[in-house]
Chain A
Amino acid sequence: MAAPESGDGNNGAARMVTLISSDNTRFEVEAAAASLSQTLQLTILDGGGGGGDGIPLPNVDSATLSKVLEYCIKHAPAAANGGAPNATAVDRAELERFDNEFVNIDQSVLYSLIMAAHNLEIEGLQSLVAKKVADMIKGKSPMEIRRTLGFPDPTPEEQAEMNAHMLEYGWAYE
C-alpha cells in the first residue's frame, strides 16, 4: 500500500487510518487525531494504518479506545496549530470544559484510560488523567486517600507505621 498524500495529510481530503482494539473492533479516524499518540505517530507517518490493514492495539479494549479517540478528535485541531497560538479564548474555554467533563468518569474507566494514555503516549491525555487523580487525593488524610484509591484498610502493623510517620512528618499532617 502506497503512502497516500506523501504522508503529510495537510492538503486535500483528510487521511484516515484504522485502529483495531484488543477485542477486534475497528475504528476509523483521521490520521491527524491518531497521531496525537507518539506510539502511533511513526507508524502513521510511514503510511501504516490505511486501507484494509489497520493498526492492532492489543493493550486497549474497544470501550477505552473509543474514549481515547473522543479525546484525540477533540484535541487534534488545536494540536495541529502547534499549541494553537491563535486560538481564541472561547476555543480554549471549550477545550477546558470538554476536558473537565471527559474525566468525570468511574474509577475503573479512569484506570483504563490512564493505562491507555500511557501505552499510546498521548501527552495531553496523560497529563489530564494524572491531574484528575491528583485532584482526587489533594489535601486528603491518609485514610481518605486509601479509600479514594482503592487500597485495603490498614493492618495493625500498617496503622502503627502510619502513626510513626505522622510523628516524623508532623508538618505534612497539619
Chain B
Amino acid sequence: MLKSPLKSMESKPAQFCPDEDRISKLPDDIVIAILEKVDVSTAIRTSTLSTRWRHLPLLLSHICLKTEDFMPQNSTPVSDDKVIDEAMAALVELLTSFVAAPRRERCIRILSLAVHLIPDRLCDIGKLVCDAIDCGKLKSLELEFNTVNGVYDSTELDMRRHAQSLMCFFDSSPRVFCCLTKLYLCNANFRGTDMHRLLTSCEQLQDLTLVECDTGCLGVFKIDVPGSKLRVLRVLVSSPGIPYQFWLNNVGKINESYRLGAGAGGAEPDRTGGAAGVANGAGAGGVPMAGTGAPGTRAVTRDVKSAIFARAAALIKSILAASFAAFSGLRTLGTSTSSSFMQKARRSLCFLLLSQR
C-alpha cells in the first residue's frame, strides 16, 4: 500500500512565491521557532517589524526570563536594590503579557524564571503562574531564586529571611508544585521542617540545585517522596570543619566528617561549575578575608585545602552516587564547595533522604 505524502504536505500553510523568498514572509510558527532561539530582549525588539510580527514574540512556547535581562547593562550585578526591584517589575509586566497574550492557543511548554527574592514581586509572579496553570496554559515550570545580597554579604539573619520569603512564595502558590520540574535555591537558612515540607511537596521535580542552603546546625535535608522524579541533584556548600551527614534510607546513616577549605571545586559541567567560578571570582575580587596571612602563605594554604577538598568531594560523590543509583533514577549528582575558608564556619550541609517506595 503506497501512501502519498502529498496529502500531508498540502495541509501545511506553505504558500511561497519565488519573488517573495524573504525571511520576513515566513509563516508564524516558523518565526516563533526562530524567536525561541534569541534572547528575550531581541525577541521583544522584533515586535515593531510589522503588524503581523507585533504579537509573535508573545506567543513563544518556551519562555526564559531572568532579572538580569531587565537590568541596565552597566549596573553592577546584585548590588543595587532599586535596580533589581525595577527589573523585577518589568519582568512581571512582561510575564503578564506572555500569560495573557490574546492569541495564545498553544500552551507554554516551558516557563523558565530566574528571579530575585523580592517578596512583593514574587507574590505577583506566583499569582500569574498559578492563573496560567489553572487555565491549562502552562506545562512545565523552572524556577531559580537568587538573593539581592550575595553569599558573602549575607548574615545568618539574611539567610533566614531568604528562606522565609521562599516559604512564603510556595505557601501562597501551592499549585506551582504540579508543574515545577526544576528548582534552584541559594543562600538560605531553612527551618528543618520547612525544608522538609518544601522538598517533599515538589512531586514533579526532576532537577534540584541547592547552593549555600542549610537547615542550621546538624539539620537534615529530606526528600521523602514516593517515586520521586528527581534525576539531577547538585549541592554546593561551604562548610569548613562541619560534619556532613547523609541519610539514606537503604543504608542508614553515614557520618563523615571533613575539614573542607578553599575548594576551587570539582566543577560539574553546568550550574555547579558556573557557581563555583562566581564564588571564586568574588573571593578574588576584594572580599574582606579575615585571618589570611601573607599572599605567599595563602597560596600554599589554598593548594593544600584544595587537595583535601578534592578528596572529600570525590568521596561524597561516590557515596551519594552509589547509594542513590541503587534505588532511584538519579542520573547526575554534583557536589562542590565554594571558596569559603575565609568565612565564618556556619554551615551544616548536605543531608538528603530520597525514598522510593
Contact = CB atoms under 8 A, between A and B. Distances in A.
B44 interface: yes
A134 B42 CA distance: 9
Nearest to A41: B5
Interface string A4-27: 000000000000000000000000
A139 B69 contact: no
A145 B70 contact: no
Contacts of A133: 23, 34
Interface string A151-167: 10010001001100100
Interface of A: 1, 39-40, 42-43, 46-48, 53, 55-59, 107-108, 110-112, 114-115, 118-119, 126, 130-131, 133-134, 137-142, 145-146, 149-151, 154, 158, 161-162, 165, 169, 171-174
A110 B14 CA distance: 15
Interface stretch (B47-55, B111-119, B243-251): B47-55
B23 A43 contact: no
A145 B24 CA distance: 10
B23 A110 contact: yes
Nearest to A116: B14
A172 B44 contact: yes
A59 B14 CA distance: 8
Interface in B68-92: 69-73, 87, 90
Contacts, number: 125
Contact of A119 (B1, B9, B36, B49): B9
Interface string B14-42: 10100001111111001001111111111
Interface of B: 1-6, 8-9, 12, 14, 16, 21-27, 30, 33-42, 44-50, 69-73, 87, 90
A171 B69 contact: yes
B12 A118 contact: yes
Contacts of A46: 1-3
Given A42-B5, A139-B42, 16 more contacts: A39-B5, A39-B8, A43-B3, A57-B5, A115-B16, A118-B12, A134-B38, A137-B46, A142-B46, A145-B45, A145-B46, A151-B24, A165-B47, A171-B70, A172-B40, A172-B44
A40 B5 contact: yes
A137 B21 contact: no
